[in-house]
Amino acid sequence: MQHSEDESFFLFNHSVPVYVCSALIENNIDELSPEDKSFCKDIILEIATYSLNPNYQYQISDGVQPAISVLPTLLEAFPEEKENIKVILLLSLFNESHVGGMLSSESFSIFSIIAIRKLWKNKFSEAQSLLLGYLLLRPKYDELITRIRVENYKKGVYEYQDDQLSKRFIEDNEEELQYVVDNKLSLSNLKDIENYDLPVLRTAFRMIPQKTDSNEHKTIANAVISTFAKKLILGDREDKIDYQVKHDFLQTYTYFVLNSPKDEIQDYLKPFLDNFNTSESIADLFQEFVLAEDTLNTYVNFWFVWNTFKEKIFDICKDGDARWHVDKIVKSYLFAQVPWKETAKEWHSLKNDNKRFFKELSENIGHCPSALYAISKLLNDIGSHYIDDGVIWISTILGKNHDLADKKLENNTIYYIENLSRKYTFRNREKIKRTKVIKDNLLIIFDYLIKKGSVVGYMLRESIV
């Protein structure tokens, strides 16, 4: 019975020391005695090293995550441990197993990526060597895995066993690993980055700081962006790219672009502009830009990006939105793909100056049912403050494109038009009676609703005639 209780106590509390030590090193290191610092350091390094064991499988409460997260602080406090710390961070980047829990979409490498991001501010050279070391050594790591599989196959062993992988990798690449530790790598050590596997480029891109002045970072970023743009757009229908790899890249890319100096953004957009087509990835790209802007609030940069793509949108919509994915692209570009909160009636990046943009879109792509849907939806949620101008946009679309009465509409299009029409009419009843232009615009909308069988349209028309 005592033995069972001891096992239970260990099971539930074995990771407490590393959590406590990690918190102390991260938040209270100056208050610790040299002996306490050293004690915490030894525990953190011991637990962090567990992740390099051949049969290691991440458990949420095993303490490895807090141990890795505090390694940057440990590196500053104990420079003599630089080799151990950097090797742990580097090799942890190679672990692509999923971690589960709240981070179910992430791989184990995210812990090392986050730790390396902390190094850029005060330990730039150390972080840079890890970035370059990863790009140099990850292909060799993958080649070693393939070689071990071939060797095992020849021996009649058909299940992959990696119990010797880390040891052999370190032995085979001792010189290159020392270059990483000593910060002796440069971009010249890397060859043909564009030919790397997408998951490798994704991980490297996530390591680069979002606001960077480094020319080496910009060179790597441009190579990564160019490779992904071609694969995502041109190979979209033939070579299926892993969803998570694609999502991680697009999320990192949009944050990187919006955080960049405005005069550099055009270069980062160029691969997508040059390869622009009607692939689904373009719609996903626009959606990620909106989500990134929702967090970052980089108004000037965001609208520079949006206006840069405007002519491309006009081009793909010349023949309507019946072509593959055009409707989804239009809806993403006009903010209709993001699941905004039902209570959201404005957005920090939609200001009065942007009304001209929507007017131009309604005039140029209003023949697309997806545009009618997106603009009417916008006027019901984050663009509701545009409703006075919005009535004119909707009227322009319906007045210029009579065939919309016969086209199949996006779901809820009529609902959104009814809502904004009802709201505008109730708020401006006297103005409508006095102003012929406004009344004429509304009648175009109401007549369209009536053709679509809308009782609301009929009642609103009767109320102003």
Q: Confirm whether 399 is domain-assigned.
A: yes
The overall average pLDDT reported for the chain is 92
Which among 58, 39, 55 is positioned nearest to 112, based on CA atoms? 58
Q: Confirm whether 423 is domain-assigned.
A: yes
Q: Confirm whether 237 is domain-assigned.
A: no
pLDDT for the residue 55: 80
Angle of helix 387-400 relative to helix 355-365, nearest 10 degrees?
A: 10
List CB contacts of 23: < 8 A, sequence separation 6 or more. 66
Give the chain's domain count.
Answer: 1
Percentage, residues of the chain above pLDDT 90: 81
Q: How many CA atoms lie within 13 A of 397 on its CB side?
A: 28
Given a contact cutoff of 8 angstroms between Cβ atoms, the answer to whether 273 and 309 are in contact is yes
Q: Confirm whether 305 is domain-assigned.
A: no
Q: Confirm whether 367 is domain-assigned.
A: yes
Q: Confirm whether 184 is domain-assigned.
A: no
Given a contact cutoff of 8 angstroms between Cβ atoms, the answer to whether 308 and 264 are in contact is no
Computed over its alpha carbons, how large is the radius of gyration of the chain? 28
Angle of helix 215-229 relative to helix 262-274, nearest 10 degrees?
A: 30
Q: Mean of the pLDDT values across residues 280-308? A: 98
pLDDT of 272 above 60: yes
Higher pLDDT, 49 or 154: 49
Read off the pLDDT of residues 98-150 as tens digits, 9 standing for 90 and up: 887 666 688 999 999 999 999 999 999 999 999 999 999 999 999 998 888 88
pLDDT for the residue 237: 52
pLDDT for the residue 10: 46
The boundaries of the domain holding residue 383 are: 361-465
pLDDT for the residue 239: 62
| Three-state DSSP state, 107 | strand
CA 165 to chain centre: 32
CB atoms within 10 A of CB 149: 16
The model carries a pTM of: 0.92
- Phi and psi angles of residue 440, each rounded to the nearest 5 degrees, phi first: -65, -40
Read off the pLDDT of residues 434-461 as tens digits, 9 standing for 90 and up: 999 999 999 999 999 999 999 999 999 9
Q: Which amino acid is at 73?
A: T
State the DSSP H helix or E strand holding residue 392, giving kind and residue range, or none if neither.
helix 387-400
Read off the pLDDT of residues 25-43 as tens digits, 9 standing for 90 and up: 999 999 999 999 999 999 9
Given a contact cutoff of 8 angstroms between Cβ atoms, the answer to whether 79 and 73 are in contact is no
Q: Confirm whether 402 is domain-assigned.
A: yes
Read off the pLDDT of residues 33-92 as tens digits, 9 standing for 90 and up: 999 999 999 999 999 998 888 788 888 888 999 999 999 999 999 999 999 999 999 999
pLDDT for the residue 98: 85
Q: Determine the Cα–Cα distance for residues 313 and 285; give it in Å rounded to an integer.
A: 13
pLDDT for the residue 247: 95
Q: Where are the alpha helices (DSSP H) in 93-123?
A: 109-122
Instruction: Say how many Å lie between the first and final Cα of the chain, rounded.
Output: 88
List CB contacts of 208: < 8 A, sequence separation 6 or more. 131, 217, 220, 221, 256
pLDDT of 315 above 60: yes
Q: Determine the Cα–Cα distance for residues 166 and 53; give it in Å rounded to an integer.
A: 8
Q: Confirm whether 451 is domain-assigned.
A: yes
